Chains A and B, each alone.
Chain A
Amino acid sequence: MRYPFPVGTVDFIQGDEAIARAAILAGCRFYAGYPITPASEIFEAMSIYMPLVDGVSIQMEDEIGSIAAVVGASWAGAKSMTATSGPGFSLMMENLGYAIMTETPLVLVNVQRSGPSTGQPTLAAQGDLMQAIWGTHGDHSLIVLAPATVQEAFDMTIKAFNLAEKYRTPVILLTDAEVGHMRERVYAPHPDELELIYRKLPANEEEAKYPFGDIHGDLVPPMPVFGKGHHTYVTGLTHDEKGRPKTVESEIHEKLLKRIVEKIEKNKKDIVDYEGYGLEDAEIVIIGFGIVTRSAMRAVKELRKKGIKAGLLKLNVLWPFDFELIERIAEKAGKIYVVEMNLGQLYHMVKEGANGKVPVELIPKIGGEIHTPKEIIERIKDNLR
């Protein structure tokens, strides 16, 4: 198989472009989108590349339609993706819930910009974190990844597809305008170097009768995709193991929802990923995700030069959330700072994890600019005085 971009080598590309290339390497062959700043470059790249790899990229009438088509294509058997930003992300919440309820693998990229509403279309923000995790109505679970560099945007896109296929769930790649639009040196692996996961299909006709049954005891049912004569029954209504609507039986609802949540929670160890710096002896720990952790890293290095024992915890996976990890850090650290480009969202989860064992303080910033290392350092030093 040949690719319409260099593989097994380095290139100098934008985050959006990296996401599109990585998706194709991950086996994505269906993309549906709607134009929106700052995610349009993903769509444009997909439009160029897809026909060259026997794939399809189509423009729908809105973001509701985009994610709907992606769910449809996923049930048709294709690895599928869409990308958007805040306003479109809001529109996608309806069918994101459908994808969760019907356990449909897909990747949804949110290149975050400042909101609410139209906000600051070209500027970066991290204000959609809570929406990514909790935006659709009803109890649920899903997976949220957050890259801080163009290389991570590339690598995490591949990981997003693997997790979506492995756990039959939507995966959100929560990036931002800064990562999306900046160019960096990226190593694009050769396909032979990649380990790709494809959804588990029913081994036989008997297994195909249970599209929503935990028949292997791993909480993830095999997916009887359409067109194979299975007469698969898929509905967003509460359904039993065969997919039949059961809208008033409370125990069936509980069993279904608990499995959907537990297939993520019980596999937390496999999914969760983070990077620590200086955590062994850190008295002050900065916690963050995405682009802003780069400023935080500089701040930690500068603080250490000044003799202040600082450390950084960079969260690469935001859901499932490793509350226990935060608690372990809280047991050792003297203080935790949460740095994020919003008015406090990760902050609340970190506080819950810290469980009162250590003060947790928020260093927020909004308006489209990333915190400078200086701003972080000064805030921390002010408190030390």
Chain B
Amino acid sequence: MAKEIYTKYKMAKYLRKEALPTALCPGCGGGTVLNAFANAIDQLGIDPRDLVVVSGIGCSAWIASPYFLADTLHTTHGRAIAYATGVKVGLPDKKVVVISGDGDLAGIGGNHLIHAARRNIDITVILVNNFIYGMTGGQVAPTTPFGAITTTSPYRNVEHPLNIAETVTSAGASYVARWTTFHVYQLIESIKRALSVKGFALVEAISQCPVQFGRRNRMKTPTEMLRWFQRNSVLISKARNMSPNELEGKIVVGELVNREKPEFTEELNSLIEEVSKHYGLGDNNAD
């Protein structure tokens, strides 16, 4: 039996009640992203029955599954986009959304991310980037800032972080944006655009993990992390006129790209039509 939950939160109708309260730590940015996603769905008037949400492994993957009330496919580590590719090709009329973390989608699953963007398949990816492997205990991620402390870089991180949004832009996505959990309204607007664009769309949501990242990097509380996002964020329009030195350590936010390009499942379907027309199995050429 579903648990009775008393709430005035309007977005609760999009959530699986029996999975609440969420298992996210107090102060986690995951709730903000979940809220932004639910608001985007609500504002666009998308019926959750027309949604399939796919996720991988990690705290951010839980935003989609178990919390979101839709057909949900909670898959293996890093593979969510590859699974989503099969779902989208099978159900081209549905909105297919992937919600997962940086370690999942850009670390172990980085190759799937790049190639899905290259194909420009109509999948919306909400990538929650908290700079860390949170669920497994705060290990260094491909997004961890240079010099940061993690449990597997206890002295300092000697690697450089991957610029996910820029990488996906280069790979050929139709739509790419980056915001932080400080920029809630912008985040909602970008998720709405990502859901409306025909093609591969990525919204990189920089998010706070005060427990596993902030605590070890002089930002113990969620507010300290949000303040860091606020102070360090630079709008892309402004960033274009800044030197690499000036941009060092900054978070470039805004819409990186929004372009029309042929979309993968539409191309597949027009190929089927083309092939049937030219080589089709009409009545006279049975074999």
Q: Which residues of A contact B (CB under 8 A)?
A: 2-6, 30, 32, 51-52, 54, 56, 58, 60-62, 64-66, 68-78, 80, 94-95, 98, 226-237, 244-245
Partner of B72, one of A77, A227, A233: A233
Q: Chain B: which residue is nearest A67 at the CB level?
A: B82
Residue of B nearest to A73 (CB): B86
User: Out of A3, A51, A78, which one reaches B90, CB within 8 Å?
Assistant: A78
Chain B residues, CB < 8 A from A231 = 16, 48-49, 69-72
Give Cα A68 to B85, complex, Å: 8
Chain B residues within CB distance 8 Å of chain A: 16, 18-19, 48-49, 52, 54, 65-66, 69-76, 79, 82-91, 93-94, 111-112, 114-115, 268, 271-272, 275-276, 279-281, 286-287
Contact B90 A68 (CB under 8 A): no
How distant is the Cα of A70 from the Cα of B280 in the complex, in angstroms? 26
| Closest-CB distance, B106 to chain A (whole angstroms) | 14
Q: Which residues of A contact B70 (CB under 8 A)?
A: 231
> Contact partner of A72 among B66, B73, B271, CB < 8 A?
B73
What residues on B are CB-neighbors of A229 within 8 Å? 49
Could you tell me the distance between the alpha carbons of A2 and B83 in the complex, rounded to whole angstroms? 30
Q: Which of A6, A227, A237 contacts B52 (CB 8 A)?
A: A227
Question: Which A residues lie within 8 Å of B271 (CB)?
Answer: 51
Most buried by B among A74, A94, A230, A233: A233
Is A245 a contact of B112 with CB atoms below 8 Å? no
B275 near A52: Cβ-Cβ < 8 Å: yes
User: Do A68 and B268 contact each other (CB < 8 Å), given the known contacts A52-B281, A73-B90, A234-B74?
Assistant: no
Contact indicator B72/A69 (Cβ below 8 Å) = no
Question: A74–B65 contact, CB under 8 A?
Answer: no
Contact A56 B82 (CB under 8 A): no
Contact of B74 with A76 in the complex, beta carbons under 8 Å: no
Shortest CB-to-CB span from B120 to chain A, Å, is 13
Whether the pair B74, A237 counts as a contact (CB closer than 8 A) is: yes
Q: How far is the CA of A338 from the CA of B230 in the complex (A)?
A: 70
Give Cα distance in the complex from A4 to B286, angstroms.
7
B71 touches A227 (CB 8 A): yes
A60 to B115, CA, bound (A): 8
Chain B residue with minimal CB distance to A224? B71
Please name 19 further chain A to chain B contacts, defined as beta carbons within 8 Å, in addition to the given A3-B281, A60-B85, sorted by A numbering.
A2-B281, A6-B287, A54-B272, A64-B82, A65-B85, A65-B111, A68-B85, A71-B86, A72-B54, A74-B90, A75-B86, A76-B89, A76-B91, A226-B73, A226-B87, A231-B16, A231-B69, A232-B71, A233-B74
Partner of B91, one of A4, A226, A236: A226
Q: Determine the chain A residues whose CB is within 8 A of the CB of B65 once the complex forms.
A: 233, 235
Asked if A56 and B71 sit within 8 Å, CB to CB, the answer is: no
How near does chain A come to B196, taking the closest CB pair, in angstroms?
20
Min CB distance B115 to A, Å, is 4
A72 touching B111, Cβ below 8 Å: no
Contact partner of A56 (CB less than 8 A), chosen from B54, B89, B94, is B89
A2–B94 Cα distance when bound, in Å, is: 29
The CA of A2 and the CA of B56, in the complex, are separated in Å by 40
Question: Are A226 and B82 touching (Cβ within 8 A)?
Answer: no
With a CB–CB cut-off of 8 A, which chain A residues contact B16?
231, 233
Show 12 A/B contacts (Cβ-Cβ < 8 Å), sorted by A: A2-B281, A2-B286, A61-B114, A65-B111, A65-B112, A68-B75, A72-B54, A72-B89, A94-B76, A98-B75, A231-B49, A231-B72
The docked-state distance in angstroms from the alpha carbon of A237 to that of B18 is 17
A61→B276 CA distance, assembly (Å): 27
Known: A232-B71, A232-B72, A244-B19. A61 touches B115 (CB 8 A): yes
Q: Identify the closest chain B residue to A98 (Cβ).
A: B76
In whole angstroms, what is the CA distance A169 to B268 when docked? 28
When distances are taken between beta carbons in the complex, the residues of chain B under 8 Å from A58 are 85, 89, 268
- CB–CB B279/A226 < 8 A: no
CA distance A30 to B92 in the complex (A): 13
Q: Are A76 and B79 in contact (CB under 8 A)?
A: no
Residues of chain A within 8 A (CB-CB) of B49 are 228-229, 231
Assuming A69-B89, A227-B94, is B72 touching A234 (CB within 8 A)? Answer: yes
Shortest distance between the CB of A234 and any CB in chain B (Å): 5
B276 and A233 contacting across the interface, CB-CB below 8 Å: no
Complex alpha-carbon distance, A75 and B71, angstroms: 10
Residues of A within 8 A of B83 (CB): 68-69, 71-72
Q: Which residues of A contact B19 (CB under 8 A)?
A: 244
Q: Contact check, A69 vs B287: say whether CB atoms are below 8 A apart.
A: no
